[in-house]
Amino acid sequence: MKPFTALSLPNGAVIPNRLAKAAMEENMADKDHAPSAELIRLYRAWADGGVGLMITGNVMIDHRAMTGPGGVVLESEQFGERFEQWSQTARAQGAQIWMQINHPGRQMPAAMGQETIAPSPVPMDLGNFSKQFSAPREMTEADIADVRQRFVRTAQLAERFGFTGVQLHAAHGYLISQFLSPITNRRTDRWGGSLENRARLLVDIVKEVRQAVGKGFAVAVKLNSADFQKGGFSSDDAKKVVSMLNPMGVDLIELSGGSYEAPAMHGQTRDGRTLAREAYFLEFAKDIATVARMPIMVTGGIRRYQVVEQVLSSGIDMAGMGTALAINPRLPEAWASDTSATPLLRAITWKNKVLSSIAYMAMVKYQLRRLSQGKHTRPDVAPALALLIQQLETKVKNWQYRRRMDKPRNA
C-alpha cells in the first residue's frame, strides 16, 4: 500500500492518506485551558502540509488531573467556540482530526499541587527524578466511575465541536495504561489480577464511548505494544487486549510503547527485535496486527519516506509521525515530489536515559512553539538550551495553574 492511498475505516469514514500526525504534548492551552490562538495556528500548519490524519496532543478529561501545565481540558461546553475553531482549522484541507483524550493517573507532576490517583498506590520510580511525582492514592469505585463518565463526556463534546473522532490514550504509562500493567495495578478486586480484570477499564470506556457517539465518529485506542519493564504489560498482553477490542467497533489502534519510567516512545529503550533506528515498534506491531480486525497504526521514530513504505508493505495500515512533523509540518507535501526529505533533530548523547528523554521532549516542544508563532523550526537547537527554556516555561505555568486552582471555578 502506498502512503498516499486513502484508508476506509470500519465506521465508513475515509482518511485521505496513510500519513498521520501522532499526538505530541503541545501544552499550548490559553488561561481557560481551552485551545489558544497559537495552538490553532500550529494545526493550520499541519493541515496545510497535507497530512491525512491529525491526532491532537492529549486533551484532559479533568482539570484536576493534568499531564503538565498548559494542557487543554474539555469537560464542559463553556469554551465550545474555541474548540470548534480548532477542529475547523484542522479539517480545512480535508484531513481527519481526532482528539486524544487522557487522564494521567500517577504521571502528574507534583509541582502542580493536586492529589494524584492511580489503580494502586505505587509511586513513580525515576531514580533521582522520582520526587517530581507525588505518591498516588488508590482509586475507589467512585473514582473509577467518575473517570469512566468523564471519558464519555469529553468524547461527546469532541463530536459536538466538530472533531471527527477521539483516541483513548491507553499507552505511555497514563491512567488506563496503569490499569493494564501488573506493575502499577496490584488490586485484588474486579479491576486487578487477571488481564481481563486489568483491561476492564479500557473495555468499559470503549464500550460506553462507542454507544454515546455517532456511528460516523471514529473511536480509536492508543495502546502499548509493550511496557519495556520486567513484569509489566507485554506484547502477548497487547495481542489479547486487541482481541478483546475486536468486536467493539474500534476504528483504529495505534501501537506505541513505554512510559515515563521506560521511555521507549523516544527510542531510548528498545528490544532486540525492533528496528535499529526508525519504526522501532514495527516488529511488535506486525505480530499484534495478526489478531486485529481493525486498522493498525504504528508510531515511533518514523522520519523517512522509505520507512513509511516499509511500514505499510508489512501489513500496517497507517504510519504515525511526531518529531518529523514537528520539524517539518509540510513533510507529506514535500514527499509528493521529493521522497528524500528527512527531518532530523540534533542527537542527544547524554548517558542518563530519563534526562535524555526529558530533553528530547523539550526539543520537540521548542519546534512546536516556533511553528505556533509562525516561525521556521530549528532542529539543531542544543538539547540543554531547549531543556532550560522548557523548565522555565513549565515553572511559570505551574505557578499559574496552582493559582487558578485556588480560585472558585465557574465551569
DSSP letters of 357-373?
Answer: HHHHHHHHHHHHHHHHT
CATH number 3.90.79.10 is the correct assignment for the domain at 7-341? no
What backbone torsions phi and psi does residue 298 show, to the nearest 5 degrees?
Answer: -120, 140
Mark 227-263 as b/e (b = at least 16 C-beta within 10 Å): bbbeebbbbebbbbbbebbeeebbbbbbbbbbbbbbb
pLDDT of residue 270: 35
Q: Where is 396: in which H helix or E strand?
A: helix 383-405
Read off the amino acid at residue 228.
F
CA-nearest of 202, 184, 192 to 243 is: 202
Name beta bridge partners: 180: none
Q: Look up residue 191 and give its three cell numbers.
A: 479491576
What are the E-state strand segments in 56-195?
59-60, 96-102, 117-118, 137-138, 165-170
Find the Cα–Cα–Cα–Cα dihedral 188, 192, 193, 197, rounded to 10°. Answer: 130
At 173 the three-state DSSP class reads: coil
21: alpha, beta or left, given left = phi > 0 and alpha = psi -120 to 50? beta
pLDDT of residue 260: 75
Question: Average pLDDT per run of 10 along the chain, which is 411 residues long?
Answer: 95 97 95 97 98 97 95 97 98 98 96 96 88 94 98 98 98 96 97 98 98 98 84 90 97 86 50 48 88 94 93 95 97 96 92 88 96 97 96 94 80 45
Residues 253 and 292: beta-carbon distance below 8 Å: yes
- 108 alpha carbon, distance to own chain's centre: 15
pLDDT of residue 75: 97
CA-nearest of 400, 249, 278, 321 to 50 is: 321
pLDDT of residue 276: 44
Residues 6+ apart with CB under 8 A from 230: none
Instruction: Locate the domains of the chain by residue range.
Output: 7-341
CA-nearest of 174, 182, 163 to 222 is: 174
Other CB atoms within 10 A of residue 8 CB = 10
Residue with cell 486498522: 295
pLDDT of residue 128: 81
Is residue 272 classed exposed, middle or buried when 0-12, 13-18 and 19+ CB atoms within 10 A define those classes? exposed
Q: Give the C-alpha separation, 149 to 141, whole Å.
A: 12
Q: Where is 236: in which H helix or E strand?
A: helix 235-245
pLDDT of residue 271: 35
Q: Give the C-alpha separation, 260 to 200, whole Å.
A: 23
Q: Give the C-alpha separation, 94 to 88, whole Å.
A: 10
pLDDT of residue 251: 98
